[in-house]
Structure 1
Amino acid sequence: MTPTRIAVAGAGYIGQAHMHAAQHSATVTLTAVVDPSPVAKEVAAKAGVPCYASLAELFANDRPDGVVLATPNALHVAHALECMQAGVPCLLEKPIAPTVAEAQTLVDQVEATGAKVLIGHHRAHSPIMAKAKAVVQSGELGQLVAVMGSATFYKPDQYYADGPWRCEVGGGPILLNMIHEVHNLRMLCGDIVAVQAFASNAIRGFAVEDTVSINLRFANGVLGTFLLSDTAACARSWEQTSQENKAYTSYDDEDCYVITGTNGSLSVPTMRLKTYPRPEDRSWWKPFDVSTVEMVRTDPIAQQMEHFGAVVRGEATPLVTARDGLANLRVTEAIVEAAKTGSTIALV
């Protein structure tokens, strides 16, 4: 087949990850970089593709089949609308928009026009998550009861020195990191309908939070707890357990999610499964059957690129829709509000 032609807008860290995925794909090919910065020209030259200063210039000179939008958050909606107006499918990096109001505007346009827009929550393409979701949906755990999650890691001081904006409101782990977790939790347990949260900045003393304790209520009655911290020297985070991003050291003895039901539990991403052999004879006095769910580990960003190519070609519908992106952002904003006010924030 003729490879699907993909341009990447935004030549930063995540943009370069998308470029790498396109360059090493059997079904898509990288055709251009869009970014006005001098550094982008060097990145494009190294990749052997032209560099354009804007989407308008790209569309006028070398119209691709699809565009990956890895541009700054504030430009997400404008750039997505520009792609839609040009009739070019896009993969829009998360978050879908800076605010829920802006995200709603984009969702309305996507749904009104039927535009092909895939939101870049790449963990949705993780084989680990696919397998965990399959176990939950199989009923092997029984009726879902609760989920316990964590994203605890230590960001070095240089991280804040390099980006002083991260010390201010909006630069903390709720808005930067929690949105990944929200989508994973929604995949596993369904829609979130209410949140509570306590936040602390006791360690670094910045204007923004460094640690957050979160309670979640799901539409199906499942309850969840989540501990988030970027100042906790702990490996219970997706990056340090999934083995998907080789930049992080991984620990086989740690998990970041435990999903519990009336007949058993699944720990993710080790995929350790504990279930009662006889559901009619369940008791904390009785032993579990203990096993590990077989699975494969592959790069979810590469998987996402293959899926995007299929969306562009009309072979698939977006696994993560614009409405999903809106729902994830809505929960994240609710956590911010809950931590600020001390109130339970309802989402329905």
Structure 2
Amino acid sequence: MTKLRVGLLFGGRSGEHEVSIVSARAIAEAINAQENANKYELLPFYIKKDGAWQGPDVASQVLSTGEALSCDSKSNLWQFPAEAESIDVWFPILHGPNGEDGTIQGLLSLMQVPFVGSGVLGSAAGMDKIGMKSIFAQAGLPQVKYMALTREEIWSKSTIFAKCDDIEQTLGYPCFVKPANLGSSVGIAKVRSRSELEAALDSAASYDRRIIVESGVTAREVECAILGNDSPKASIIGEITYESDFYDYETKYTIGRADLLIPAPLPNSVIQQIQEKAIQAFTTLDCAGLARVDFFYVEATGEVLINEINTLPGFTSTSMYPQLWANSGVSFPELVDQLIQLALQRSSIPEKHE
């Protein structure tokens, strides 16, 4: 049997470059595992921080060492390695901007080769917090209160004070200030006063031209993993607990700073609500393959509020997404296999049912 050539695409022009390398190493191991070795031939491709693509030889070295390569000012950003022409299915694991936001998905679509994960629409909508929340609101998914701002409004002396007044009156304190298009909690701040709000808005505007401010809520943070295309399935529910003020970048990626409870100790009725809303969010954005959907569970009122969807979640052996499926009966190598098969299914034209 001829093996399918899987192009594992990682690295990228994002602040989550190093996280992508860690995810790619775990996926490469799963593709090469005994269960998948007879099905797939792995060809890794590494995108440096300047956007230059590197072929399997260089990419394999990065996977081996786990270290990002330095950028070369002479890099040709528009030249793809020759091996890219032989790929049967792509497995992009590029977290954050320029990889999770529909840009690489558009490129792979133009290549006319199947790829793992959501297409342009689901990826772009899932990455942009303002667009995502607008779509969720239209779909009737309950959320915390939020407001959207632009960099121009924040950095303009004629509008910033009025905007801060609106935030205080509409959302109150504490509230969270976030860049609209960054992942892994980059640029996010929890604020409790006017001075902190102004500083956080200024900082967030340095990361992105569009900013979102969300009302704080006393709630448990729970997550659900989705797997599938047009008939997706939901995993069991996991919960994140931590001692820090909120789930920031340092807490998220420092060993021992946060704990994952799988399964989360929740009433069956709440579990069912979360699973149903996770699938609804996935299908509303026309996602495909995989996603992790994050929620707030307000125990005092019994409310389940959707926080966000992540269309290319962390994929290390200790990440929440694969752990949720492992505890739902799907091993890491099996999960990677299913995602590749889902990519192939999505690209094929189904037979018409009479």
Q: Same fold, TM exceeding 0.5?
A: no
TM class by smaller structure: 0.3 to 0.5
TM-score by length of 2: 0.37
